Amino acid sequence: MKDLIKTLYQKFHHLILYGIIGSFSSGLDFAVYTVLVQVFGVHYIVANCISVVAGISTSFILNRNYNFKVKDKTGRRFGIFLCVGFTGLLLSNLILYTCINTFALNKIVSKLLSIVLVVFFQFLVNKYFTFKPNEHGESVSGDAGL
C-alpha cells in the first residue's frame, strides 16, 4: 500500500501540490471577494477582479517556488501566468454573470462554482506552458534572467 501511495504521489505530485496551492490561493480569492461584496458592498465584478489578482499573485509565487520549481525567466513566466490568470478572470466573470443574472444564483455560490471550473483550465495551461521546464527537461533552481 505504501508503494502504491508513493507511486501515485510521484506520478501526480504536481497536480497534488497545485491543488494544495490552488486551494490556498482560491481561499484567499474567495475571502477577499466575500469581504468586498458582503462587508464593503463592492459590485461583484469589481470585487472579483480584485480578488482574482490577489489569488493569481499568490498562486504564481507559491507554484514557482514550491511546486514546479522552475525559477528561470521569472518575468516572462509571470507574464504568461498573468495572461492565463486574466483568461481565467474573464471566464470567471462570465460564469458569475451567467449564474447571477440568468440563473438567479447567490453571488457567493456562483463564486464557488466559478473557482472550481476555472482551476481545472488553469492547471492544464500552467503545467504544460507556463512552468514547462527548459529545453533540457530540467527545472532551473537559479534566478537567471527575465
18, 63 contact by CB (below 8 A): yes
Rounded Cα distance, 108 and 37, in Å: 9
Average pLDDT, the chain: 86
What is the per-residue pLDDT across 7-52, written as a single tens digit (0 to 9) for each? 888 888 888 888 899 899 989 999 999 999 999 999 999 999 999 8
Query: Cα dihedral angle (96, 86, 58, 112), rounded to 10 degrees?
Result: 10
**Cell numbers found for residue 143:** 534566478
Task: Identify the pLDDT of residue 137.
Answer: 57
**Cell numbers found for residue 101:** 443574472
22, 123 contact by CB (below 8 A): yes
Decide: helix, strand or coil at residue 44: helix
| The pLDDT of residue 119 is above 60 | yes
